[in-house]
Amino acid sequence: MSIPEPLDRLVRCLARLPGVGRRSAERMALHMVGDRGGLLREMAEALKDAAERVGICSLCGGVTAAGEDPCRLCSSPTRDGSLLCVVEDATDIVVVEKSGAFRGRYHALGGKLSPMQGYGPDDIRLKDLLARVEREGIKEVILALSTDVEGDATAGFIADMLRGRPVRVSRIAFGLPAGSGLVYADPVTLSRAFKGRTDETR
């Protein structure tokens, strides 16, 4: 069965979201267009609003309100500027912030090293990280990465990159839940992970 072009376009967009396959995308799209309560219209407005009013902070890589760059977290004088927490994605910043486990600043890499997926050092924000460490007088870089092969490789690479510089490189006691977008990492566990952080050496 061929589906109308506008619906197919919607399906193709949804299928590009992480964790959404073609079948789920079709189910979502059909649910949206079939909803008489106006979900599709509301969603369209929310998407337009987000496109216009939400941006990415050029410093930390986290989400920010349009026109606020650097973001509030980066420019807040009450945050500890000597501590920098390195995460994979902007969504991880939200997870850590919700937990209240950390009072420093953030740096989202926008991915992790993954030779399998063709992600090398130049594909994630490692140069920006190095520049920040040199420029901002950071005393400790805390790696809050996932504990899979790619997370380990990324942590090792950063430790090597910063070796010989006057900065401590540590890693939280265990990784953030993979693809943590909507996963709720409970605050107590996350606080413990930050407190129990250890030096990253390779």
Cβ neighbour number for residue 163 with a 10 Å cutoff: 11
Q: Which of 10, 29, 74, 95 binds Zn ion (CB under 5 A)?
A: 74
User: Using CA of residue 55, residue 61, residue 64, residue 69, what is the dihedral sign?
Assistant: negative
Cβ distance to Zn ion smaller for residue 14 or 126: 126
179 is a contact residue toward Zn ion (CB under 5 A) = no
Residue in 11, 14, 25, 60 binding Zn ion, rule: CB under 5 A: 60
Nearer to Zn ion, 23 or 72 (CB): 72
Q: What are the tokens at 196?
A: 């129990």
Closer CB to Zn ion, residue 71 or residue 83? 71
Q: Which of 11, 14, 25, 71 binds Zn ion (CB under 5 A)?
A: 71
| Under 8 Å between Cβ of 133 and 139 | no
Contact between 129 and Zn ion per CB under 5 A: no
Site map 3..42 versus Zn ion, x via CB under 5 A? ----------------------------------------
With the CA atoms of 158, 159, 160 and 166 taken in that order, what torsion angle do they form, in degrees rounded to the nearest 10? 110
81 binds Zn ion, rule: CB under 5 A: no
- Identify which range of 30-38, 60-68, 78-86, 140-148 contacts Zn ion by CB under 5 A: 60-68
85 belongs to the binding site for Zn ion (CB under 5 A): no
Geometric angle at alpha carbon 55, from 169 and 86, rounded to 5° = 10
DSSP 65-116: ETT--S-HHHH-TTSEEEEEEEESSHHHHHHHHHHT---EEEEE-SS--BGG
Cis peptide before 18 (omega within 30 of 0): no
Q: Kindly state whether residue 59 participates in binding Zn ion, applying the rule CB under 5 A.
A: yes
Residues that bind Zn ion (CB under 5 A): 57, 59-60, 70-71, 74
